[in-house]
């Protein structure tokens, strides 16, 4: 192809912050990503979902509007047979299919079988693959004998907010957010370990949860978690916050209010939450699974036994560090200028993948 020409990408989705930050921040990278067609009933916090463009009829009807189709995520409820139909439709139309493998385990599925079946369609069908870490690329190579370009996760937080000063605290503040209790979140064993440590040391434990988890009749309501949170509200040093989905500005304030964010995940692959914490200088304690520890150096880790119980020694070691003022004084935080430079490189790397995919289809 003419490598100076504009590439029109049907980005599925487009409105997510990760995708927004794939573009060069200050110059034209020659890539135009189509906006998300508005769904009839958009999800709270994800106005781009359900994905209108993830449909063979839409692809056929709008084929003259894009040069290349790039899928990221959001296909949780799409059957493998339909995904196969979509990829075959793209092939019939001569449209390259690029797939970024964000999740090797779907955080919304307790049973991995459905996502594995989807990956068994998407990964072999893709004209080009991208993933976020070298470890994930190795797993892709091992499972499907396919090579994926490794392009790191861009910044999540906007650059002006990344430059905000962190508040000074004498007492360490540790946070654990249950969100809407998606399948990958297993909070009670981690909370039990943190509460046991709270009996032996002085720190503030902040527990957040979305309103739908504690509201009877809501889809994500969990009576066991609700009862547990009610039982700990009066413990000295514990704050329980029940709230709706945070808009970005409130989420950034939340991160800035923590010294350590504990990820209570039972499985997973990569984490945008971790990247946002790094943008704002909030340390992360993540389970030693997936590829979280390959995203950024300095992520603290804990092991889990077969029953999901975290290793108490790992939790204690992380709290020893976060309670040390000298350790907290050494920043673990993204440099905004380095994030800008990284984003330029990310944009250029995507442009190269797109060019190669287009060249391959037209050869």
Arithmetic mean of pLDDT, 310-332: 95
Instruction: Note whether 238 and 232 are within 8 A (CB).
Output: yes
How much of the chain, in percent, has pLDDT values that exceed 90?
A: 92
Instruction: Note whether 29 and 23 are within 8 A (CB).
Output: yes
Determine what percent of the chain falls in helix, strand and coil, rounding each to the nearest 5. Answer: 40, 15, 45
Instruction: Note whether 294 and 279 are within 8 A (CB).
Output: no
pLDDT at residue 1 in the model: 54
Give the SS3 label for residue 153: coil
pLDDT digit string, tens, across residues 161-186: 999 999 989 899 999 999 999 999 99
Q: How far is CA 91 from CA 59, 145, 357, in A?
A: 11, 21, 12
Report the side by side order of strands in the sheet with 128-131: 31-33, 7-12, 68-71, 97-101, 128-131, 149-150
CATH 3.40.50.2300 fits 159-329, yes or no: no
Among 29-33, 41-45, 125-129, 238-242, which stretch is predicted with the lowest mean pLDDT? 41-45
Distance of CA 324 to the CA centre of its chain: 29
Domain 159-329 in the same topology as domain 7-155+340-362: yes
Q: How confident is the model at residue 212 (pLDDT cuts 50, 70, 90)?
A: very high
Cα separation, 356 vs 323, in Å, equals 49
DSSP string of 169-216, one letter each residue: -SS-EEEEE-TT--TTB-HHHHHHHHHHHHTTS--EEEEEEEHHHHST
Tell whether the model's pLDDT for residue 132 goes beyond 70.
yes
Structure tokens that stand for 277 in this block: 């914490």
pLDDT at residue 48 in the model: 84
Among 40-49, 228-237, 320-329, which stretch is predicted with the lowest mean pLDDT? 40-49
Structure tokens that stand for 195 in this block: 């509460």
Cα separation, 178 vs 220, in Å, equals 11
Q: What average pLDDT does the structure give for the chain?
A: 96
pLDDT digit string, tens, across residues 65-110: 999 999 999 999 999 999 999 999 999 999 999 999 999 999 999 9
Does pTM surpass 0.75? yes
Q: Spell out the CATH class of 7-155+340-362.
A: alpha beta
Give the SS3 label for residue 10: strand
> Domains of the chain: which residue ranges?
7-155+340-362, 159-329
pLDDT digit string, tens, across residues 15-68: 999 999 999 999 999 999 999 999 888 887 788 889 999 999 999 999 999 999
Nearest to 323 by CA among 295, 302, 300, 294: 300
Q: How confident is the model at residue 4 (pLDDT cuts 50, 70, 90)?
A: low
pLDDT at residue 363 in the model: 61
Q: CB neighbours (10 Å) of residue 336?
A: 17
Q: Is 163 exposed, middle or buried (0-12, 13-18, 19+ CB in 10 A)?
A: exposed
Peptide linkage before 45 cis (omega within 30 of 0): no
pLDDT at residue 237 in the model: 97
């Amino acid at each position: 192809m003419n490598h100076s020409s504009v590439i029109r990408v049907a980005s599925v989705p487009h409105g997510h912050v990760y995708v927004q930050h794939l573009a060069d921040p200050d110059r034209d990278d020659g890539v135009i990503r189509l906006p998300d067609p508005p769904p009839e009933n958009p999800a709270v916090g994800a106005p781009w979902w359900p994905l209108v463009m993830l449909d063979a009829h839409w692809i056929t009807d709008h084929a003259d509007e894009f040069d290349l189709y790039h899928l990221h995520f959001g296909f949780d409820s799409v059957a493998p047979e339909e995904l196969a139909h979509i990829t075959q439709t793209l092939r019939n139309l001569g449209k390259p299919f690029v797939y970024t493998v964000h999740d090797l385990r779907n955080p919304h599925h307790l049973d991995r079988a459905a996502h594995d079946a989807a990956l068994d369609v998407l990964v072999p069908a893709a004209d080009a693959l991208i993933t976020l870490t070298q470890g994930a690329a190795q797993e892709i190579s091992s499972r499907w004998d396919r090579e994926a370009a490794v392009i790191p996760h861009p910044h999540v937080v906007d650059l002006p907010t990344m430059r905000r000063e962190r508040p000074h605290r004498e007492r360490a503040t540790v946070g654990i957010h249950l969100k809407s209790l998606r399948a990958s979140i297993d909070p009670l064993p981690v909370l039990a370990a943190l509460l046991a440590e709270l009996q032996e040391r002085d720190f503030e434990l902040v527990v957040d949860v979305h309103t739908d988890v504690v509201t009877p009749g809501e889809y994500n309501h969990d009576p066991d978690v609700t009862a547990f949170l009610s039982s700990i509200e009066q413990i000295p040093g514990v704050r329980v916050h029940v709230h709706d989905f945070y808009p970005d500005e409130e989420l950034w304030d939340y991160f800035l209010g923590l010294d350590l964010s504990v990820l209570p995940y039972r499985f997973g692959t990569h984490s945008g939450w971790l990247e946002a914490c790094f943008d704002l200088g909030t340390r992360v304690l993540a389970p030693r699974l997936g590829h979280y520890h390959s995203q950024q150096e300095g992520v603290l880790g804990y092991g889990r036994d077969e029953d999901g119980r975290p290793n108490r020694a790992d939790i204690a070691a992380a709290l020893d560090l976060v309670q040390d003022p000298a350790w907290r004084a050494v920043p673990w935080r993204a440099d905004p200028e380095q994030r800008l430079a990284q984003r330029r490189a990310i944009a250029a790397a995507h442009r190269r993948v797109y060019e190669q995919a287009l060249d391959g289809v037209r050869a």
